[in-house]
Amino acid sequence: MCQWSAEGKQVSDIAQILGITPRTVTFHLNQVVEKLGASSKSQAISWAVKQGLVRLNIDTALVGNVDEGAQ
């Protein structure tokens, strides 16, 4: 769930992938936040990325678009 959340998937998307309700996804994500002592889902995902538990796949095309916008 954390991996998909880090990739920007919505709770409803994750629920559909797993075949569970969005409420169940929200419950489990909240449990992760609580167990890590994080103040938000974003903070928990950031910690997971730093620990190597979640990998971010940066789309080079997206990075190119961001760079172009800065000009």
Contacts of 29 (CB under 8 A, 6+ apart): 1, 2, 5, 11, 41, 44
pLDDT in tens, 5-43: 998 899 999 999 999 999 999 999 999 999 999 999 999
Domain layout of the chain by residue ranges:
2-69
Other C-beta atoms within 10 Å of 14: how many?
A: 22
CATH class of 2-69: mainly alpha
The more confident residue out of 71 and 21 is 21
